Copies of this chain bind each other. A is one copy, B any other.
Amino acid sequence: MLKTRANIKDVASRAGVHPSTVSRVLNPETRSMVSDGLAKEIIQIADELGYRRNPLASGLRTRRTFTVGVIIPDLTNPVFPPIVRGVEHTLDSEGYIAILADSGSRRRSEKALIENMKARQVDGLILAAANRKDPLVDQCIEQGIPLVLVNRTVDKHNVTAVINDDELGIDLAVRHLVELGHRQIAYVGGPQRTSTGHARYRAFLKTAKKAGITVDRDLITNAREFTEPAGQAAFHELMQTGKKFTAVLSANDLLALGCYDALEELGLRCPEDISVTGFNDMPYVDRFVPPLTTLHIPHDELGVQAATLLLERMQSPDTPTKQLRLEPRL
């Protein structure tokens, strides 16, 4: 029935020392300033009293909160949970906590979100929803908030980011389709304002040329969003060109599912009539009918790496920025 948790003064008075001494003992950086014997004794007493440093008081003084903000566009998009989990676990192991904000598809003023995080004195920020040109990112950099992008990046290279190697991914997918004998491959891309949509699109152009297959501009379309309906619409658009194609590569699993919807509407069958390939690795895609060939992206690892890099940057904010690309596989 403690009134309130023991504080540093309680420990100090019980040990017969000044609070500052206790503080020094409990802080790894200053631990060596106090004699071993006394230190042991203080630690013991702190344990007995169940003392825990008050992060508010500590943060107020030191301006470090051991808190990082994690902003994602939509937690129900299956891409993000594993990322967030990787981030959270990694941060936790270093004593940091994650405050999570789902900016919502409506982009519930991300600016306000970031303002809020800043006001709460987060030590760093992980952003999973950046656009290729993103004023928010610039803003963070200007203000010197340690920042790591994950999943998507921006065009500028002055930001640390952990992303999937889209070029490799598309390369794998195209080669796979070519090996299956496809020569007319259509492409359903994602929004070009995102780095993923853009990179995959360019990778497709490049790889297709390299593989020596027809690259017909009419068979390439970029959806506005990474959603099922957008994929559906895109597929119909492809059909309306009247051109023939035997396979469609889509930049994202949700788009691929949209293609399925369209196929069904048109009474076509997959893969007999047209073969569909996805990109992103939603869980359980292998159970879909028909099973979707897709690329496995190591989302967990994306999160872990992002958190690791952020920890680094928070330690020494002047480490050069870095772009990390993780390898997907079929």
Contact with B along A280-296 (1 / 0, CB 8 A): 00111001111100000
In the bound complex, residues from chain B placing their C-beta under 8 Å from that of A80 are 81
Mostly, the A contact residues are mixed
* Distance (whole angstroms) from the CB of A254 to the closest CB of chain B: 10
* B98 with A100: CB separation less than 8 A: yes
What bracket does the count of chain A residues touching chain B fall in?
Answer: 35 or more
Docked Cα-Cα span, A174 to B78, in Å, equals: 30
A84 at the interface (CB under 8 A from B): yes
* A85 with B75: CB separation less than 8 A: yes
Interface centre among A5, A92, A284 (most CB of B within 10 A): A284
A317 at the interface (CB under 8 A from B): no
Docked Cα-Cα span, A201 to B180, in Å, equals: 48
A166 at the interface (CB under 8 A from B): no
A125 at the interface (CB under 8 A from B): no
Interface segment out of the listed A26-34, A55-63, A183-191: A55-63
**Nearest neighbor of A261 in chain B, beta-carbon distance:** B287
In the bound complex, residues from chain B placing their C-beta under 8 Å from that of A284 are 257, 282, 284, 288
Docked Cα-Cα span, A322 to B99, in Å, equals: 28
A119 at the interface (CB under 8 A from B): yes
* A104 with B76: CB separation less than 8 A: no
Chain A stretch 17-33: residues in CB contact (< 8 A) with chain B? none
From the candidates B88, B118, B288, name the one contacting A101 in the complex (CB within 8 A).
B88
Contact with B along A218-257 (1 / 0, CB 8 A): 0000000000000000000000000000000000000001
In the bound complex, residues from chain B placing their C-beta under 8 Å from that of A57 are 60
* Distance (whole angstroms) from the CB of A58 to the closest CB of chain B: 9
Docked Cα-Cα span, A65 to B97, in Å, equals: 15
Query: Known interface pairs A60-B56, A88-B102, A89-B102. Does A97 touch B78 (Cβ–Cβ under 8 Å)?
Result: no
In the bound complex, residues from chain B placing their C-beta under 8 Å from that of A9 are none
**Nearest neighbor of A50 in chain B, beta-carbon distance:** B115
Query: Known interface pairs A75-B85, A92-B101. Does A55 touch B287 (Cβ–Cβ under 8 Å)?
Result: no
* B97 with A116: CB separation less than 8 A: yes
* A75 with B84: CB separation less than 8 A: yes
Docked Cα-Cα span, A59 to B54, in Å, equals: 11
In the bound complex, residues from chain B placing their C-beta under 8 Å from that of A260 are 287
A131 at the interface (CB under 8 A from B): no
Shortest Cβ-Cβ A-B pairs, 3 listed: A289-B289, A52-B119, A100-B100
Q: Can you list 21 A-B pairs, Cβ within 8 angstroms, ordered by A?
A: A5-B119, A54-B119, A55-B120, A55-B121, A60-B60, A67-B99, A70-B100, A75-B81, A76-B81, A78-B78, A81-B81, A84-B100, A88-B101, A92-B108, A97-B101, A98-B100, A257-B284, A287-B287, A288-B288, A289-B289, A289-B290
